[in-house]
Amino acid sequence: MFTKILIANRGEIACRVAATARRMGIKTVAVYSEADANAKHVAVCDEAVLIGPAAAKESYLRADKIIEVALATGAQAIHPGYGFLSENSEFAEACAKNGIAFIGPPASAIEAMGSKSAAKSLMEKANVPLVPGYHGDNQDADFLHTEADRIGYPVLLKASAGGGGKGMRVIEKSADFKDALASCKREAINSFGDDKVLAEKYLQRPRHIEIQVFADTHGNCVYLFERDCSVQRRHQKVLEEAPAPGMTAERRAAMGDAAVAAAKAVGYVGAGTVEFIANQDGSFYFMEMNTRLQVEHPVTEMITGTDLVEWQLRVAAGEKLPLQQSELQIHGHAIEARVYAENPEKGFLPSIGTLRHARTPVAVNFELGGATDPAAFRIDSGVREGDTISPFYDPMIAKMIVWGKDRKEALARMAQALAQYQIVGLSSNIAFLSRLVTSTAFSGADLDTGLIERNQAELFPAQVAANLTTLALAVVSLLNSEKSAKDSNDPWQSSHGWRMNSLMQRSLQFTEEEQTHDVQVTYLADGWQVQAGESKVQVRLALAHENDIVIKIANQTVAATVVRDGEHFHVFSQGKHTALHYIDALAHAGEAEAETGRLTAPMPGKIVAVLVNKAQEVKKGDALLIMEAMKMEHTISAPHDGVIDEVLYAIGDQVTEGAQLLAFQQ
Ligand code: ADP
Ligand code: ADP
Ligand code: MG
């Protein structure tokens, strides 16, 4: 076995690989970019070496630098994680040339599966079923258009070199083909440096079911059953589970055998995933093979009681697979939720910022059924409180994985864990995930890749205004912090309204999205009366420790965490997160209204297309400019009819968050 490995990745996967290495007594070397100098993966490894600036191209994708570091530090093997260099056959080859073991498949297998088109041709020969489509070499736009017409709409365009859902375009009708092809090619060349595309029939209500395979250098190849990853947004996984609900033993064996056949066809070694798209009737087609460890591998680990990173290390060191097919069994049910820095209410737009407050549900105390039960709960995270989610890398904050003896138990545990997860400082999808796991469709296992879109009403309910208890929690937190400041004798902190005689009254205002809450506070001998609208209640602070408070409200005791972030009060109570904006009348005096007629960048990024010219007339909703940020394209559209005054950036320009992109007149 190796005594030292280099981990050529960052974030949660680098930390996860390091954890297994440590358990096995293997030393680890981290590499990091300038943006990651204080990152968690740097802290958890035994050594860490700076390899370049923030941009992945200049750091995590610098194969030469990484090999240099491996040689200099005496690492005998490199684990590439997922993303970055994990599916780069040249990197795998370069490792071999330098006498370093690449913890992954041989370069030839990566190469064979690297292009979705070539892989499909190969699978065709191995008799693995394929979705009807065109995956040939002819890339002529008119030819592809004819092919799409022949396949019949809806048609899906994919980047042959694609991954992470990038470049994918669903085309509903022939007239939309040209624009979709251009946009697919643009994203493909930007993301993968290759604009080759393939077209296939876009299946209706399909499920994404994938098989985990594992092969060693002794000719053994097994499958570790399936994962259902149907719940997606933007063709990217949000929830994953194993086993797949409704899977029969026969179909599992058929899919497992097809996956093993696919792996064997390319001389596969190590961990790999064969992705299938399945119809509701169970018929399935090969989609692609990911020649690496998958983001969602923990659900497989939980139901099989394995550590797949340990398997990877053993196989790379030349050992045999730890278990044979007949020794593998499914035990219980596991679900993973990907916690992303994004705003589900705004089309899942990625969000960046600092995790001012991050509390993971470590306190969740599950009763374990018996000694054979695996740990019921796991969080794989690459960030800690105080860390930032930057625009340079993937916006995933953490993966939360739960196990239960059956799906129902796993679901209940997931709901409970999500309710206890607190994040302040950026938008996250936690509340959305909570609604998703408890939704009728997901809890009823009515799965397909359109689940989120089909259940908009249930998943995006109209916001319920904060109730009096929530307002009271924010008020008590505010008054208590003012009181503490006052007790510390700061002359500037004497709270307004505090010293007036007899019944002291004060008006406070909070806003919540579009709502305004006017709250009247009356100071009482041992607490306050809090009134909003017609309802009023007496409140007393029972306990306060840092951000945690307990209040007595009417006859109830309510515990909460209230985190103040500037003017925002984040109230976490009873599994709900409410963000209240405190309008401090004094602080806002004289502030001007936000200007209109400007269009600004929602986040830092690069301009990839400018669709209008100076003096051009545009209609509300017209696309004006496309920028790429956090590996996604964002279209900036006209907020109303008007005329373009000025286009302030050109294609290729980098823009900072909030930068004015265009001047625009009504
Ligand atoms: P999987 O297919 O493994 O479930 P996805 O397709 O959602 O996962 O995302 C995997 C791809 O997304 C990777 O190949 C990589 O391009 C990108 N990616 C996701 N997370 C990260 C990360 N933390 N660091 C780098 N790349 C990432
Ligand atoms: P990536 O490399 O980005 O992971 P995939 O080919 O694996 O690309 O597809 C990603 C997702 O897109 C699938 O999980 C599925 O939801 C959807 N998808 C892919 N192909 C089809 C298809 N032919 N019909 C319907 N949905 C599809
Ligand atoms: Mg895929």
The Cα 84–Cα 292 span in angstroms is: 11
Measured from the Cβ of residue 368, the count of other Cβ atoms closer than 10 Å reads 12
Q: CA 334 from chain center: how many Å?
A: 18
Instruction: Classify domain 132-201 at the CATH topology level.
Output: Dna Ligase; domain 1 (3.30.1490)
Higher per-residue confidence, 126 vs 82: 82
The mean pLDDT value of the chain amounts to 91
- Specify whether the CB–CB gap between 111 and 135 falls below 8 A: no
Residue 148 predicted with pLDDT over 90: yes
Indicate whether 500 pLDDT > 60: no
Q: In CATH, what class is 4-103?
A: alpha beta
Alpha helices in 53-157 (DSSP H): 63-73, 89-97, 107-114, 116-125, 141-151
In ligand 2, the atom with minimum distance to the C-alpha of 167 is 3
Segment 488-508 shows an average pLDDT of 59
pLDDT 10s digits, 221-246: 999 999 999 999 988 999 999 999 99
207-455 folds as: D-amino Acid Aminotransferase; Chain A, domain 1 (3.30.470)
Residue closest to 376 by CA, chosen among 347, 412, 424: 412
| pLDDT above 90 for 513 | no
What's the pLDDT at 283? 92
More confident call, 363 vs 630: 630
Q: Which residues surround ligand 3, an ion (CB under 5 A)?
A: 275
Q: In whole angstroms, give the CA distance from residue 168 to residue 160.
A: 10
Listed residue (571, 411, 581) closest to 476, CA to CA: 571
Give domain limits for the chain: 4-103, 132-201, 207-455, 468-582, 598-665
Nearest CA to ligand 1 atom 17: 83
Residue 198 has pLDDT above 80, yes or no: yes
CB atoms within 10 A of CB 576: 15
Q: Ligand 2 within 6 A of 202 CB?
A: yes
In 3-state terms, what secondary structure has residue 655? strand
pLDDT in the model for residue 38 = 96
Nearest CA to ligand 2 atom 11: 235
Most confident of the following: 65-79, 161-175, 189-203: 65-79
Atom of ligand 2 at shortest range from CA of 204: 25
CA–chain centroid gap for 376, Å, is: 22
Q: What is the pLDDT of residues 576-589, one digit of tens each?
A: 999 999 998 665 54
pLDDT band at 486 (very low <50, low <70, confident <90, very high): low
pLDDT at 598: 63
DSSP H stretches of helix in 173-248: 177-192
Atom of ligand 1 at shortest distance to CA of 294? 3
pLDDT at 592: 37
Task: List, in sequence order, every beta strand (DSSP E) within 330-418.
Answer: 333-340, 342-343, 349-350, 353-354, 357-359, 377-381, 388-389, 396-404
Question: For residue 487, which amino acid is it?
Answer: D
Two tokens at 254?
Answer: 């058929």
CA of 114 relative to ligand 3 center, distance in Å: 12
Architecture of the structural domain at 468-582: 2-Layer Sandwich (3.30)
Q: Are 85 and 102 in contact (CB under 8 A)?
A: no
Write out pLDDT tens, residues 334-348: 999 999 999 999 899
Residue nearest to atom 26 of ligand 1 (CA): 83
According to DSSP, residue 130 is labeled B
Give yes or no for residue 647 having a pLDDT over 80.
yes
| CA of 229, closest atom in ligand 2 | 14
**Hey, whose CA ends up nearest to atom 27 of ligand 2?**
202
pLDDT (average), residues 416-437: 96
- Looking from the CA of 113 toward its CB, the CA atoms found within 13 Å total 29
Tell me the mean pLDDT in the region 491-518.
71
Active site residues: 292
Facing residues of 282 across strands?
Answer: none
Q: Which residue out of 32, 36, 82 has the highest number of ligand 1 atoms within 8 Å of its CB and is therefore the one to mutate?
A: 82
Q: How confident is the model at residue 503 (pLDDT cuts 50, 70, 90)?
A: low
131 lines ligand 2 (CB under 6 A): yes
Residue 296 has pLDDT above 70, yes or no: yes
Is 509:516 a contact under the CB 8 Å cutoff? yes
Please give the share of the chain, as a percent, with pLDDT higher than 70: 93
Name the band, by pLDDT with cuts 50, 70 and 90, for residue 371.
Answer: very low
Q: Closest residue (by CA) to atom 15 of ligand 1?
A: 83
Residue 287 CA to ligand 2 center (angstroms) comes to 7
Which ligand ends up closest to the CA of 81?
A: 1
Whether 664 has a pLDDT exceeding 90, the answer reads: no
Task: Evaluate if residue 491 carries a pLDDT over 60.
Answer: no
Spatial contact of 571 and 551, defined as CB atoms under 8 Å apart:
no
What topology does CATH give the domain 598-665? OB fold (Dihydrolipoamide Acetyltransferase, E2P) (2.40.50)
CA-CA distance, 389 to 395, in Å (whole number)?
Answer: 7
> 236 and 340 in contact (C-beta within 8 Å)?
no
How many Å apart are CA 214 and CA 225, to the nearest integer? 11
404 and 333 Cβ atoms separated by less than 8 Å: yes
pLDDT of residue 662: 87
